[in-house]
């Protein structure tokens, strides 16, 4: 075998790839499910926390800041392992899927809260005053005037952060979630050939390139004429 | 149109402090229906704060404010109900940049007065026509000149059929050639009998349109009277010094 042939056999063994494609496809579905759950619940929780923070209740705000700082500082893998292996000691045994989902959602919510909050603060005070002077309540002002502007400003950093954390679904492989990476690793150990990993990488590209493109589309879509 | 006898706005002993700094030091003011009261004074004298206390964008420290018979400062008063009946126009327009001109005018019609889309749209278009912007209903603030933006802001206030409108330096952020269009709208409002309190240094407009001019300095109303008196023969030295200074500019 020439070097080139060995390279092809190692990473692009068609026969092995074909054999394990169904397994990787199953992993793909799991990753997509996990990613969607993380994005939706993480962003929703982050937005909710940012909205609560605008009420400016001292104790609540202190708790939110503590939560945000904590989960921005902890590596996501540590949170996942803590929930998965520590949970049972506290009388709660989440599946690897649930542990990964909740951990990543919580981490994403912490970053999202901070980004939404910065966006809310960046909306000029005059916007609040104009809306309140026409009789809109605080939550109405937030919903109709402030958040639409804040969210537009936060789309780029939020997209980046969301993609980064969603890629963390691969960490689920550590706690027995059969998502893409874990399916690929299992396939490698059965076939003694790393080609399934190539397939796994391709699966991530198939998943995330459209997400990156969607992010860019949302950015232009949400920009308004100033 | 001559002002009515009934005071629409009645302020007594109004005080406002920011921290230890007292910015309003006991203001008494009555504004009657259909009256146009002009407020002048040096920067930092408390003119904006006075206006902003009237609809509680700023929380007064002490005193009383009656608006159209309602005790504005009472904790039992629904402040949002009061606010929608006091129009407010800001120096920096404060239009919502993500909404069209019509959208800006419609928001409170829909969400505060709970009007249906069609009705709110019709009212918004009428309000925009009133300020000469019927053809700009679909434009975003960023596509409008400063003068046009300020007229949209006036339309936004008028659409709620306010009992009075407060103007805080409505023309001072505008290029000189755009000031006229906004003053024209204000002149028409005055002719239609709108009760107005205007903080501005447009003396020509004040002479032509104001019933009364107040001169404020350091949180107090130093002197008030008809425009001819305040601009032509001010009684207080502080008023005189201030008038001389703005005339020179
Ligand atoms: N939110 C605030 N916090 C602290 N101080 C304030 C605040 N708003 C106003 N002030 C102070 O109150 C005083 C009066 O301010 P105000 O804006 O009412 O003056 P003004 O007469 O409108 O001045 P200008 O002509 O510059 O608009 C100023 O000294 C200002 O610094
Ligand atoms: Mg001011």
Q: What is the dihedral of CA A128, A133, A135, A138, to 10 degrees?
A: 20
pLDDT on residue A196? 85
For B176, phi and psi rounded to 5 degrees? Answer: -50, -40
pLDDT on residue A183? 87
Q: Which domains can be identified in chain A, with CATH numbers?
A: 22-222 (1.10.3720.10)
More confident residue, A156 or B48: B48
Q: How far is CA B6 from CA A81, B33, B67, in A?
A: 73, 6, 11
* pLDDT tens string A73-85: 999 999 999 999 9
Cβ distance B80 to A149 less than 8 Å, yes or no, reads no
Cβ distance A135 to B97 less than 8 Å, yes or no, reads no
A127 membership: H or E segment, kind and range: helix A125-133
Which pLDDT band, with edges at 50, 70 and 90, does B4 fall under? low
| Residue B51: both structure tokens together | 């206006």
More confident residue, A224 or A80: A80
Residues of B at the A interface, defined by Cβ within 8 angstroms = 55, 57, 80-81, 83-84, 86-88, 90, 92, 94-98, 107-108, 111-112, 140-143, 153, 156-157, 160
* pLDDT tens string A163-196: 888 888 889 888 888 888 888 888 888 888 888 8
Length of chain A: 226
Instruction: Give the orientation angle of helix A147-166 with respect to helix A96-122, to 10 degrees.
Output: 150
CA-atom Rg of chain A in angstroms = 22
SS percent in chain B: helix, strand, coil, step 5: 40, 25, 35
Q: Quote the CA–CA distance of A24 and A17 in Å, as a whole number.
A: 9
Which pLDDT band, with edges at 50, 70 and 90, does A2 fall under? confident
- CB-based burial, A123-132: b 16+ in 10 Å, e otherwise: beeebbbbbb
| Residue B113: both structure tokens together | 């007065």
Lowest-confidence region among A186-195, B110-119, B168-177: A186-195
CA torsion sign for A81, A87, A92, A93 is positive
Q: How far is CA A183 from CA A9, A85, A177, A179, B152, in A?
A: 20, 21, 9, 6, 60
Lowest-confidence region among A57-71, A103-117, A152-166: A152-166
Whether A15 contacts chain B with CB within 8 A = no
Instruction: Return mean pLDDT, chain B.
Output: 94
Q: Quote the CA–CA distance of A137 and A54 in Å, as a whole number.
A: 13
Proportion of chain A above pLDDT 70, given as a percent: 98
pLDDT of residue A226 exceeding 60? no
Average pLDDT over residues B44-66: 96
Residues 6+ apart with CB under 8 A from B55: A133, B72, B79, B82, B83, B86, B88, B166
Nearest-CA residue of chain B relative to A138?
Answer: B80
Q: How far is CA A88 from CA A35, A82, A96, A172, A174, in A?
A: 24, 10, 12, 17, 17
| Residue A192: both structure tokens together | 């003694």
Average pLDDT over residues A58-66: 95
Q: What DSSP designation does B151 have?
A: H
* pLDDT tens string B198-237: 999 898 999 999 999 999 999 999 999 999 999 999 999 9
pLDDT of residue B121 exceeding 90? yes
CA torsion sign for B231, B235, B239, B245 is positive
| Residue B189: both structure tokens together | 């409002």
B115 membership: H or E segment, kind and range: none
Half-sphere exposure of A86 (CA within 13 A, CB side): 7
Report the 10 Å Cβ neighbour count for B189: 22
Give the residue, by CA position, lying nearest to ligand 1 atom 26: B43
Which pLDDT band, with edges at 50, 70 and 90, does A219 fall under? confident
pLDDT on residue B130? 94
pLDDT of residue B122 exceeding 70? yes
Report the 10 Å Cβ neighbour count for B204: 9
Smallest CA–CA distance, residue B246 to chain A, in Å, is: 27
Which pLDDT band, with edges at 50, 70 and 90, does A1 fall under? confident
Q: What DSSP designation does B223 have?
A: E
Q: Are residues A131 and A138 in contact, defined by beta-carbon separation less than 8 angstroms?
A: no
pLDDT of residue B35 exceeding 50? yes
pLDDT of residue A225 exceeding 60? no
Tokens 């939560």 — which residue? A67
Cβ distance A133 to B86 less than 8 Å, yes or no, reads yes
Which pLDDT band, with edges at 50, 70 and 90, does B15 fall under? very high
Average pLDDT over residues B45-52: 96
Nearest CA among B121, B58, B114 for reference residue B84: B114
Smallest CA–CA distance, residue A217 to chain B, in Å, is: 18
Whether A153 contacts chain B with CB within 8 A = no
Report the 10 Å Cβ neighbour count for A17: 19
Residues 6+ apart with CB under 8 A from A144: A131, A136, B107, B111
pLDDT of residue B3 exceeding 70? no
Q: Write the DSSP string, A95-140.
A: -HHHHHHHHHHHHHHHHHHHHHHHHHHHS-HHHHHHHHHTT--HHH
| Residue B55: both structure tokens together | 């609809």
Q: Are residues A100 and A172 in contact, defined by beta-carbon separation less than 8 angstroms?
A: yes
Q: Quote the CA–CA distance of B32 and A217 in Å, as a whole number.
A: 55
Q: Are residues A160 and A172 in contact, defined by beta-carbon separation less than 8 angstroms?
A: no
Average pLDDT over residues B58-71: 95
pLDDT on residue B187? 94
Nearest-CA residue of chain B relative to A226?
Answer: B142
Residues 6+ apart with CB under 8 A from B59: B53
Q: Quote the CA–CA distance of B73 and B54 in Å, as a whole number.
A: 9
Average pLDDT over residues B95-114: 96
Residues of B in contact with A126 (CB under 8 A): 90, 92, 94
More confident residue, A51 or A166: A51
Beta partners for B12? B64
* Chain A interface, best mutation among B56, B97, B168, by max A CB count within 10 A: B97
Give the residue, by CA position, lying nearest to ligand 1 atom 29: B44
Residues 6+ apart with CB under 8 A from A50: A112, A113, A116, A117, A120
């Amino acid at each position: 075998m020439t070097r080139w042939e060995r390279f092809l056999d190692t990473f692009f063994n068609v026969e092995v790839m074909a054999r394990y494609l169904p397994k990787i496809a199953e992993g793909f579905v799991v990753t997509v499910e996990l990613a969607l759950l993380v994005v939706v619940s993480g962003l929703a929780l982050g937005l909710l926390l940012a909205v609560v923070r605008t009420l400016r209740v001292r104790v609540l705000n202190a708790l939110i800041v503590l939560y945000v700082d904590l989960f921005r500082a902890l590596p996501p893998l540590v949170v996942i392992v803590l929930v998965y292996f520590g949970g049972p000691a506290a009388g709660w045994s989440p599946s690897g899927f649930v542990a990964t989902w909740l951990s990543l959602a919580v981490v994403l919510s912490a970053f999202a809260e901070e980004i939404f909050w910065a966006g809310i603060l960046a909306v000029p005070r005059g916007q609040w005053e104009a809306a309140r002077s026409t009789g809109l309540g605080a939550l109405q002002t937030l919903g109709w005037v402030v958040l639409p502007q804040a969210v537009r400003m936060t789309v780029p950093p939020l997209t980046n952060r969301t993609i980064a954390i969603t890629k963390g679904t691969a960490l689920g492989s550590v706690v027995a979630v059969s998502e893409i990476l874990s399916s690929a690793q299992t396939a490698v150990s059965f076939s003694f050939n790393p080609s399934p990993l190539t397939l796994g990488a391709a699966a991530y590209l198939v998943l995330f390139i459209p997400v990156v493109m969607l992010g860019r589309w949302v950015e232009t879509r949400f920009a308004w004429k100033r | 149109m001559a002002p009515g006898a009934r005071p629409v706005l009645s302020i007594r002993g109004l005080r406002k402090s920011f921290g230890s700094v007292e910015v309003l030091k006991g203001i008494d003011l009555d504004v009657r229906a259909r009256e146009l009261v002009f407020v002048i004074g040096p920067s930092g004298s408390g003119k904006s704060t006075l206006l902003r206390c009237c609809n509680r964008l700023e929380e007064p420290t002490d005193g009383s404010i009656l608006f159209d018979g309602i005790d504005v400062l009472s904790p039992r008063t629904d402040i949002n109900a009061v606010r929608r009946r006091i129009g407010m126009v800001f120096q920096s327009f404060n239009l919502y940049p993500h909404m069209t001109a019509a959208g800006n005018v419609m928001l409170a019609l829909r969400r505060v007065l709970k009007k249906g889309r069609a009705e709110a749209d019709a009212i918004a278009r009428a309000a925009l026509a009133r300020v000469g912007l019927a053809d700009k209903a679909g434009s975003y603030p960023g596509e409008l000149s400063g003068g046009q933006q300020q007229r949209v802001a006036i339309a936004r206030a008028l659409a709620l059929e306010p009992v009075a409108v407060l103007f805080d330096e409505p023309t001072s952020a505008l290029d000189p050639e755009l000031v006229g269009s906004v003053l024209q709208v204000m002149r028409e409002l005055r002719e239609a009998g709108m009760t107005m309190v205007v903080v501005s240094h447009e003396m020509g407009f004040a002479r032509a349109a104001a019933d009364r001019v107040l001169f404020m300095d350091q949180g107090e109303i130093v002197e008030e009277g008809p425009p001819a008196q305040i601009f032509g023969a001010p009684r207080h030295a502080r008023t005189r010094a201030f008038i001389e200074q703005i005339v020179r500019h």
